[in-house]
Amino acid sequence: MVRVRFAPSPTGYLHIGGARTALFNWLYARHCGGRMILRIEDTDAARNSQEAIEVILQGLRWLGIDWDEGPVSADPAGASRGDFGPYFQSQRRGNYQERVEALLSRDLAYEKDGAIRFRMTREPVVMDDLVVGQVTRELTDREAEDPDFVIVRSDGHPVFHFVNVVDDLDMGITHVIRGEDHLSNTAKHIQLFKAFGVQPPRYAHIPLILNSDGSKMSKRDTGASLSTYLEEGFLPEAVTNYLCLLGWSPKDDREKLSVSEVVERFDLAQVLRHNARFDMAKLQWLNGEYLRELPAEKFFAEAVRAFARAGTDTNQWPLEYVRAALTTCLGKVKLFSELPAYAGFYFTEELSLDPAALRGDFTPDNKPRIQQLRDQFARLAEFKAEALEATLKSVAKSCGVKNGVLVHPTRLACTGATAGPSLYHLIEVLGKDRVLRRLDAALATA
């Protein structure tokens, strides 16, 4: 039975690379019919908090990554699922203590300066990585001087290398899938496993995600935190899909795949060995693809949230009006965060019109025509898109101008922008009163 784990340290945010690591673990578990374990490496008490753990749980859930074993909530003392708990390292002190003593009693570790150090081999360690292949790790010059390393600090706290290995051993982890930044240290981990007299798990080191300029992605970089995508109004399906395409490929030229399709095809052997740069433009494109096929109800709910985040409470408007307004935006934007700028004109009575732009469209020649259109609109009994379109076209015809001559100024007057939803539909939604008022205002200003 394949058992994989994602073992994040609660630092207050979930790195996009960490999310990808979790995803690949999950994909492999689901592909193999194995088990996904979530373990919280909260040994650094000073830096950890329940909120920080919550960020991780929330991020994983958002992406659709579930775990068969691990915490149910962010509370270390709370309930968990699985027979290999606790799943918080802060609750596993006893195990570490036992393991340390086992090594000490066999002289595989020793005390020095109050710390406990592991007797590391001086021989090159051969690793057989599922992604990278066979790697022979030799000692660096610094290590050659003193190959042993600390496993328990002088303050009594065991270090990462040690607890990580002990937990993987005790939890029966069969495959360690993690970032390539751990490759060099894997030699230590393998030796630790051997010291405990067991076969190390299989390792798979996946490439890292870099910034678009090729530099390392650190906390500060935009897009480094998964929460960014949550807040910016990305769809989790799109983010997951995109992450799958970084370092892995279905090899059949398909870009848009559902998770179940990826689960079916995913395997570690096809994971690339080189790092990948994060391409926000491609993610946005994918997001647009998913956005376009979103059911109207979901689109509506997310759109309302996007407006709320931007400080516009759409609830102050009649529900039917909001619905109609947002419907004209369906399939037009790639991100929910674009919506407030794209369709904000629906939800304000004070449209700020750029005088310069206004002068361009509302020329002395054109103003009488727009005035005429305005008066025709005023006479309409039915303020519907079809009637509006017919009206505009007939006015244009009688004036001997192309539709665009009237379309552009009308759009500008009604929305303040040169691009937006379908003109006739947005006018219909806005309603006669607003449209006439906006047309009058533009006519007066220009």
Partner RNA sequence: GACCCUAUCGUCUAGCGGUUAGGACACCGCCCUUUCACGGCGGCGGCCGGGGUUCGAAUCCCCGUAGGGUCGCCA
CA 161 to chain centroid, in Å, comes to 28
Closest approach of RNA to the CB of residue 168, in Å: 13
Q: Which is nearer to RNA, 10 or 313 (CB)?
A: 10
CA 371 to chain centroid, in Å, comes to 49
- Using a CB cutoff of 8 Å and minimum separation of 24, what contacts does 368-376 make? 369/395, 369/396, 369/399, 369/401, 369/405, 369/406, 370/406, 370/409, 370/410, 370/413, 370/439, 370/442, 370/443, 371/443, 372/399, 373/406, 373/410, 373/439, 374/436, 374/439, 374/440, 374/443
Q: Which is nearer to RNA, 113 or 297 (CB)?
A: 113
409 φ/ψ angles, rounded to the nearest 5 degrees? -65, -35
Task: Provide the token pair at 424.
Answer: 């006739």
Those residues whose C-beta lies under 8 Å from the C-beta of residue 100, and which sit 6 or more positions away, are 109, 116, 151, 152, 158, 162
Total count of residues recorded for the chain: 446
**Catalytic status, residue 219:** yes
Closest approach of RNA to the CB of residue 315, in Å: 26
Closest approach of RNA to the CB of residue 1, in Å: 26
Q: Which of 219, 298, 393, 397 is the catalytic position? A: 219
Q: Answer yes or no: are the C-beta atoms of 413 and 442 closer than 8 Å.
A: yes
**Cα–Cα distance, 352 to 441 (Å, whole number):** 10
Those residues whose C-beta lies under 8 Å from the C-beta of residue 11, and which sit 6 or more positions away, are 47, 52
Q: Answer yes or no: are the C-beta atoms of 377 and 432 closer than 8 Å.
A: yes
**Cα–Cα distance, 240 to 263 (Å, whole number):** 12
Closest approach of RNA to the CB of residue 220, in Å: 13
Q: Which is nearer to RNA, 332 or 437 (CB)?
A: 332
CA atoms 380, 386, 390, 396: torsion sign: positive
C-alpha neighbours within 13 Å on the C-beta side of residue 295: 3
Kind plus residue range of the DSSP H or E element containing 440: helix 432-445
Q: Which residue has the tokens 């090729």?
A: 214
Closest approach of RNA to the CB of residue 314, in Å: 20
Q: Which is nearer to RNA, 141 or 349 (CB)?
A: 141
Closest approach of RNA to the CB of residue 60, in Å: 16
E strands within 146-201? 149-152, 175-179
Q: Which is nearer to RNA, 44 or 302 (CB)?
A: 44
Closest CA to 345 of 443, 418, 445: 418
Cα-trace Rg, the chain = 30
Closest approach of RNA to the CB of residue 59, in Å: 16
418 φ/ψ angles, rounded to the nearest 5 degrees? -100, -5
Closest approach of RNA to the CB of residue 322, in Å: 19
Q: Tell me the catalytic residues.
A: 219
